[in-house]
Amino acid sequence: MLEHACKFEKAFDLFEVRDPFYKVELGNTPDCVDWKNGKKMCQVLKTFYELTVKISGSLYVTSNAFFLEIAQMLVLLKGWVRGSALDVRPMGLKMKEKFDKYWGDPTKMNKFIFFALVVDPRYKFKFLKFMLEESYGNEIGTSLAASVKDELYALYDEYKALYQPSNDHSIEVESSSQQEHDTPYLLVDKYEKQIMLEGDDVANDLDVYLNEKERKVPNVKNFDLLTWWKVNEPRLPILAKLARDVLSVPVSTVASESAFSTGGRVLDPFRSSLNPTMVESLICAQDWLRMGKDPIKVEEDLESIRKHEEALKILGVGVVINEESNQAV
Protein backbone atom coordinates (compact mmCIF):
# COMPACT_ATOMS: atom_id res chain seq x y z
CA MET A 1 0.00 0.00 0.00
CA LEU A 2 2.78 2.42 0.86
CA GLU A 3 4.67 1.57 -2.31
CA HIS A 4 1.65 2.40 -4.48
CA ALA A 5 0.76 5.51 -2.46
CA CYS A 6 4.24 7.01 -2.80
CA LYS A 7 3.87 6.98 -6.59
CA PHE A 8 1.03 9.53 -6.33
CA GLU A 9 2.84 12.16 -4.25
CA LYS A 10 2.84 14.70 -7.08
CA ALA A 11 -0.79 13.92 -7.88
CA PHE A 12 -1.80 14.79 -4.32
CA ASP A 13 0.20 18.03 -4.47
CA LEU A 14 -1.48 19.07 -7.74
CA PHE A 15 -4.87 18.11 -6.38
CA GLU A 16 -4.29 20.41 -3.40
CA VAL A 17 -3.43 23.31 -5.72
CA ARG A 18 -6.41 22.88 -8.05
CA ASP A 19 -9.14 21.96 -5.55
CA PRO A 20 -9.83 24.60 -2.85
CA PHE A 21 -11.87 22.10 -0.82
CA TYR A 22 -9.11 19.48 -0.78
CA LYS A 23 -8.11 19.92 2.88
CA VAL A 24 -11.65 20.72 3.99
CA GLU A 25 -13.08 17.46 2.66
CA LEU A 26 -10.18 15.16 3.49
CA GLY A 27 -9.11 16.68 6.80
CA ASN A 28 -5.56 15.55 7.61
CA THR A 29 -3.55 15.40 4.38
CA PRO A 30 0.05 14.19 3.96
CA ASP A 31 2.73 16.85 3.77
CA CYS A 32 6.35 16.55 2.57
CA VAL A 33 7.51 15.13 5.91
CA ASP A 34 4.82 12.45 5.80
CA TRP A 35 5.79 11.45 2.27
CA LYS A 36 9.45 11.23 3.30
CA ASN A 37 8.64 9.04 6.29
CA GLY A 38 6.35 6.90 4.15
CA LYS A 39 9.08 6.23 1.60
CA LYS A 40 11.54 5.34 4.36
CA MET A 41 9.02 3.04 6.04
CA CYS A 42 8.33 1.42 2.69
CA GLN A 43 12.01 0.55 2.31
CA VAL A 44 12.06 -0.90 5.83
CA LEU A 45 8.94 -3.01 5.40
CA LYS A 46 9.90 -4.22 1.92
CA THR A 47 12.55 -6.49 3.41
CA PHE A 48 10.01 -8.17 5.69
CA TYR A 49 7.51 -8.44 2.86
CA GLU A 50 9.99 -10.20 0.56
CA LEU A 51 11.04 -12.53 3.36
CA THR A 52 7.40 -13.43 4.12
CA VAL A 53 6.62 -14.13 0.48
CA LYS A 54 9.75 -16.24 0.04
CA ILE A 55 9.26 -18.56 3.01
CA SER A 56 5.48 -18.84 2.51
CA GLY A 57 5.73 -20.50 -0.89
CA SER A 58 4.12 -23.88 -1.39
CA LEU A 59 5.37 -24.87 -4.86
CA TYR A 60 9.09 -24.91 -4.05
CA VAL A 61 11.46 -25.84 -1.23
CA THR A 62 11.60 -23.28 1.58
CA SER A 63 13.60 -24.97 4.35
CA ASN A 64 17.00 -24.36 2.72
CA ALA A 65 16.47 -20.57 2.62
CA PHE A 66 15.06 -20.10 6.12
CA PHE A 67 18.25 -19.68 8.17
CA LEU A 68 19.80 -17.58 5.41
CA GLU A 69 16.88 -15.14 5.69
CA ILE A 70 17.15 -15.13 9.50
CA ALA A 71 20.86 -14.29 9.34
CA GLN A 72 20.28 -11.51 6.82
CA MET A 73 17.51 -10.06 8.96
CA LEU A 74 19.80 -10.09 12.01
CA VAL A 75 22.49 -8.19 10.09
CA LEU A 76 19.89 -5.67 8.93
CA LEU A 77 18.57 -5.07 12.45
CA LYS A 78 22.09 -4.62 13.78
CA GLY A 79 22.67 -1.98 11.12
CA TRP A 80 19.52 -0.12 12.15
CA VAL A 81 20.53 -0.20 15.81
CA ARG A 82 24.02 1.14 15.06
CA GLY A 83 22.81 3.57 12.40
CA SER A 84 22.89 7.32 12.74
CA ALA A 85 19.31 7.86 11.58
CA LEU A 86 17.39 8.75 14.73
CA ASP A 87 14.02 7.85 13.24
CA VAL A 88 15.12 4.28 12.36
CA ARG A 89 17.14 3.46 15.47
CA PRO A 90 14.25 3.36 18.00
CA MET A 91 12.27 1.09 15.71
CA GLY A 92 15.35 -1.08 15.17
CA LEU A 93 15.85 -1.46 18.94
CA LYS A 94 12.29 -2.68 19.45
CA MET A 95 12.48 -5.06 16.51
CA LYS A 96 15.88 -6.38 17.65
CA GLU A 97 14.42 -7.08 21.08
CA LYS A 98 11.57 -9.07 19.54
CA PHE A 99 14.01 -10.87 17.23
CA ASP A 100 16.25 -11.93 20.13
CA LYS A 101 13.24 -13.41 21.92
CA TYR A 102 12.83 -16.05 19.20
CA TRP A 103 16.19 -16.24 17.41
CA GLY A 104 18.68 -14.72 19.84
CA ASP A 105 19.97 -18.06 21.14
CA PRO A 106 21.06 -20.24 18.18
CA THR A 107 21.63 -23.28 20.42
CA LYS A 108 17.86 -23.55 20.91
CA MET A 109 17.13 -23.63 17.18
CA ASN A 110 16.07 -26.84 15.49
CA LYS A 111 19.11 -28.32 13.77
CA PHE A 112 17.04 -29.18 10.71
CA ILE A 113 17.17 -25.57 9.50
CA PHE A 114 20.96 -25.90 9.49
CA PHE A 115 20.88 -29.31 7.78
CA ALA A 116 18.67 -27.90 5.03
CA LEU A 117 21.24 -25.21 4.27
CA VAL A 118 24.10 -27.72 4.24
CA VAL A 119 22.39 -29.97 1.65
CA ASP A 120 22.05 -27.00 -0.69
CA PRO A 121 25.03 -27.40 -3.08
CA ARG A 122 25.32 -23.62 -3.46
CA TYR A 123 26.25 -23.12 0.21
CA LYS A 124 27.19 -26.32 2.09
CA PHE A 125 28.90 -26.38 5.47
CA LYS A 126 31.51 -23.65 4.97
CA PHE A 127 28.87 -21.05 4.25
CA LEU A 128 26.83 -22.14 7.27
CA LYS A 129 29.86 -21.75 9.53
CA PHE A 130 30.56 -18.31 8.06
CA MET A 131 26.98 -17.15 8.69
CA LEU A 132 26.97 -18.44 12.26
CA GLU A 133 30.22 -16.65 13.05
CA GLU A 134 29.07 -13.41 11.40
CA SER A 135 25.70 -13.47 13.16
CA TYR A 136 26.54 -14.71 16.66
CA GLY A 137 30.31 -14.19 17.01
CA ASN A 138 33.29 -16.43 16.39
CA GLU A 139 33.11 -18.34 19.66
CA ILE A 140 29.41 -19.23 19.54
CA GLY A 141 29.44 -19.70 15.77
CA THR A 142 32.40 -22.08 15.73
CA SER A 143 31.02 -24.17 18.60
CA LEU A 144 27.56 -24.39 17.06
CA ALA A 145 28.97 -25.26 13.64
CA ALA A 146 30.92 -28.18 15.14
CA SER A 147 27.77 -29.38 16.93
CA VAL A 148 25.74 -29.20 13.70
CA LYS A 149 28.39 -31.16 11.83
CA ASP A 150 28.49 -33.91 14.47
CA GLU A 151 24.70 -34.27 14.50
CA LEU A 152 24.55 -34.29 10.72
CA TYR A 153 27.05 -37.16 10.59
CA ALA A 154 25.04 -38.99 13.26
CA LEU A 155 21.88 -38.59 11.18
CA TYR A 156 23.73 -39.77 8.09
CA ASP A 157 24.90 -42.90 9.93
CA GLU A 158 21.25 -43.74 10.68
CA TYR A 159 20.34 -43.41 7.02
CA LYS A 160 23.39 -45.43 6.06
CA ALA A 161 22.30 -48.25 8.37
CA LEU A 162 18.82 -48.20 6.77
CA TYR A 163 19.64 -47.87 3.08
CA GLN A 164 23.14 -49.25 2.53
CA PRO A 165 23.04 -52.60 0.72
CA SER A 166 23.82 -55.54 2.96
CA ASN A 167 26.82 -57.77 2.26
CA ASP A 168 25.32 -60.92 3.80
CA HIS A 169 23.77 -62.02 0.51
CA SER A 170 27.05 -61.78 -1.38
CA ILE A 171 28.81 -63.82 1.30
CA GLU A 172 26.14 -66.53 1.07
CA VAL A 173 26.45 -66.62 -2.71
CA GLU A 174 30.19 -66.94 -2.44
CA SER A 175 30.04 -69.83 0.03
CA SER A 176 27.37 -71.64 -1.95
CA SER A 177 29.28 -71.22 -5.19
CA GLN A 178 32.45 -72.58 -3.63
CA GLN A 179 30.60 -75.71 -2.58
CA GLU A 180 29.57 -76.35 -6.19
CA HIS A 181 32.85 -77.53 -7.71
CA ASP A 182 31.32 -78.13 -11.09
CA THR A 183 30.31 -74.44 -11.50
CA PRO A 184 33.18 -72.11 -12.51
CA TYR A 185 33.54 -69.03 -10.35
CA LEU A 186 33.74 -66.02 -12.66
CA LEU A 187 36.47 -63.49 -12.00
CA VAL A 188 34.16 -60.52 -12.58
CA ASP A 189 31.67 -61.76 -9.98
CA LYS A 190 34.45 -62.26 -7.48
CA TYR A 191 35.74 -58.73 -8.06
CA GLU A 192 32.27 -57.22 -7.60
CA LYS A 193 31.79 -59.08 -4.31
CA GLN A 194 35.15 -57.84 -3.10
CA ILE A 195 34.16 -54.25 -3.90
CA MET A 196 30.94 -54.69 -1.91
CA LEU A 197 32.86 -56.07 1.06
CA GLU A 198 35.28 -53.14 0.96
CA GLY A 199 32.48 -50.59 0.74
CA ASP A 200 32.85 -49.51 4.36
CA ASP A 201 36.42 -48.39 3.76
CA VAL A 202 35.44 -46.05 0.95
CA ALA A 203 34.57 -42.44 1.81
CA ASN A 204 30.84 -42.05 2.42
CA ASP A 205 28.47 -39.79 0.51
CA LEU A 206 28.58 -37.02 3.08
CA ASP A 207 32.39 -36.80 3.00
CA VAL A 208 32.40 -36.70 -0.80
CA TYR A 209 29.70 -34.02 -0.87
CA LEU A 210 31.27 -31.75 1.75
CA ASN A 211 34.82 -32.02 0.41
CA GLU A 212 34.02 -31.22 -3.22
CA LYS A 213 33.89 -27.64 -4.37
CA GLU A 214 30.58 -25.79 -4.51
CA ARG A 215 29.07 -26.38 -7.90
CA LYS A 216 28.29 -23.29 -9.91
CA VAL A 217 24.64 -23.03 -10.88
CA PRO A 218 23.92 -21.07 -14.10
CA ASN A 219 20.66 -19.52 -12.88
CA VAL A 220 20.70 -19.23 -9.10
CA LYS A 221 17.31 -17.50 -8.92
CA ASN A 222 15.45 -20.39 -10.58
CA PHE A 223 17.63 -23.13 -9.14
CA ASP A 224 15.63 -26.36 -8.62
CA LEU A 225 17.16 -28.03 -5.60
CA LEU A 226 15.11 -31.23 -5.77
CA THR A 227 16.03 -31.72 -9.43
CA TRP A 228 19.70 -31.33 -8.54
CA TRP A 229 19.46 -34.11 -5.98
CA LYS A 230 17.51 -36.28 -8.41
CA VAL A 231 20.28 -35.93 -10.99
CA ASN A 232 23.03 -36.57 -8.43
CA GLU A 233 21.28 -39.42 -6.63
CA PRO A 234 23.29 -42.15 -8.46
CA ARG A 235 26.46 -40.46 -7.26
CA LEU A 236 25.25 -39.78 -3.68
CA PRO A 237 22.45 -42.33 -3.10
CA ILE A 238 22.23 -42.32 0.71
CA LEU A 239 22.75 -38.57 1.15
CA ALA A 240 20.10 -37.93 -1.52
CA LYS A 241 17.51 -39.75 0.60
CA LEU A 242 18.51 -37.72 3.65
CA ALA A 243 18.39 -34.46 1.67
CA ARG A 244 14.90 -35.16 0.33
CA ASP A 245 13.57 -35.88 3.82
CA VAL A 246 15.16 -32.74 5.27
CA LEU A 247 14.04 -30.48 2.42
CA SER A 248 10.47 -31.78 2.56
CA VAL A 249 9.92 -30.07 5.93
CA PRO A 250 8.11 -26.75 5.30
CA VAL A 251 9.07 -23.72 7.39
CA SER A 252 5.62 -22.13 7.14
CA THR A 253 2.08 -23.32 7.83
CA VAL A 254 0.79 -21.56 4.72
CA ALA A 255 0.96 -24.73 2.61
CA SER A 256 -0.99 -26.78 5.16
CA GLU A 257 -3.62 -24.09 5.65
CA SER A 258 -3.96 -23.69 1.88
CA ALA A 259 -4.47 -27.45 1.48
CA PHE A 260 -7.27 -27.45 4.04
CA SER A 261 -8.91 -24.44 2.39
CA THR A 262 -8.71 -26.07 -1.03
CA GLY A 263 -10.06 -29.31 0.39
CA GLY A 264 -13.06 -27.44 1.77
CA ARG A 265 -13.84 -26.11 -1.69
CA VAL A 266 -13.49 -29.53 -3.32
CA LEU A 267 -15.52 -31.40 -0.71
CA ASP A 268 -18.64 -29.32 -0.04
CA PRO A 269 -22.18 -30.22 1.21
CA PHE A 270 -23.31 -30.82 -2.39
CA ARG A 271 -20.38 -33.14 -3.16
CA SER A 272 -19.69 -35.03 0.04
CA SER A 273 -19.41 -38.66 -1.13
CA LEU A 274 -15.88 -38.45 -2.54
CA ASN A 275 -13.40 -40.79 -0.91
CA PRO A 276 -10.04 -39.48 0.41
CA THR A 277 -8.12 -40.83 -2.59
CA MET A 278 -10.31 -38.96 -5.07
CA VAL A 279 -10.10 -35.72 -3.04
CA GLU A 280 -6.31 -35.99 -2.99
CA SER A 281 -6.26 -36.62 -6.75
CA LEU A 282 -8.43 -33.57 -7.45
CA ILE A 283 -6.28 -31.29 -5.29
CA CYS A 284 -3.02 -32.53 -6.84
CA ALA A 285 -4.42 -32.23 -10.37
CA GLN A 286 -5.50 -28.67 -9.61
CA ASP A 287 -1.96 -27.75 -8.51
CA TRP A 288 -0.44 -29.36 -11.61
CA LEU A 289 -2.82 -27.52 -13.93
CA ARG A 290 -2.10 -24.19 -12.25
CA MET A 291 1.63 -24.73 -12.60
CA GLY A 292 1.29 -24.78 -16.38
CA LYS A 293 2.58 -21.75 -18.25
CA ASP A 294 -0.24 -21.68 -20.80
CA PRO A 295 -3.60 -20.67 -19.28
CA ILE A 296 -6.68 -22.73 -20.03
CA LYS A 297 -8.97 -20.88 -22.45
CA VAL A 298 -12.36 -22.51 -22.78
CA GLU A 299 -13.43 -20.16 -25.61
CA GLU A 300 -10.71 -21.54 -27.88
CA ASP A 301 -11.67 -25.16 -27.15
CA LEU A 302 -15.42 -24.95 -27.79
CA GLU A 303 -15.18 -27.12 -30.91
CA SER A 304 -13.31 -29.89 -29.13
CA ILE A 305 -15.77 -29.68 -26.22
CA ARG A 306 -18.71 -30.01 -28.64
CA LYS A 307 -17.17 -33.10 -30.25
CA HIS A 308 -16.56 -34.58 -26.82
CA GLU A 309 -20.21 -34.05 -25.85
CA GLU A 310 -21.39 -35.70 -29.08
CA ALA A 311 -19.15 -38.67 -28.38
CA LEU A 312 -20.64 -38.99 -24.90
CA LYS A 313 -24.16 -38.92 -26.35
CA ILE A 314 -23.30 -41.66 -28.83
CA LEU A 315 -21.76 -43.71 -26.03
CA GLY A 316 -24.91 -43.26 -23.95
CA VAL A 317 -27.13 -44.52 -26.81
CA GLY A 318 -24.87 -47.50 -27.31
CA VAL A 319 -25.16 -48.41 -23.65
CA VAL A 320 -28.97 -48.28 -23.79
CA ILE A 321 -29.09 -50.52 -26.86
CA ASN A 322 -26.80 -53.03 -25.22
CA GLU A 323 -28.89 -53.02 -22.06
CA GLU A 324 -32.10 -53.66 -24.08
CA SER A 325 -30.47 -56.52 -25.90
CA ASN A 326 -29.08 -57.87 -22.62
CA GLN A 327 -25.56 -57.83 -24.00
CA ALA A 328 -22.53 -56.85 -21.93
CA VAL A 329 -20.44 -53.92 -23.08
- Spell out the domain ranges in the chain: 61-247, 253-296, 297-329
| Percent of the chain clearing pLDDT 70 (strictly above) | 73
pTM of the model: 0.64
For residues 85 and 80, give the distance between their C-alpha atoms in angstroms, rounded to a whole number.
8
CA dihedral 166, 172, 178, 183 (to 10 degrees): -90
Say if residues 64 and 225 touch (Cβ distance below 8 Å): yes
Mean pLDDT of the chain: 76
3-state class (DSSP) for residue 132? helix
Is the model more confident about 305 or about 319?
A: 305
**Cα atoms found within 13 Å of the Cα of residue 46, Cβ hemisphere only:** 9
Q: Residue 156's pLDDT band (boundaries 50, 70, 90)?
A: very high
> Please, which residues have CB within 8 angstroms of residue 190's CB and are 6 or more apart in sequence?
174
pLDDT at residue 154 in the model = 92
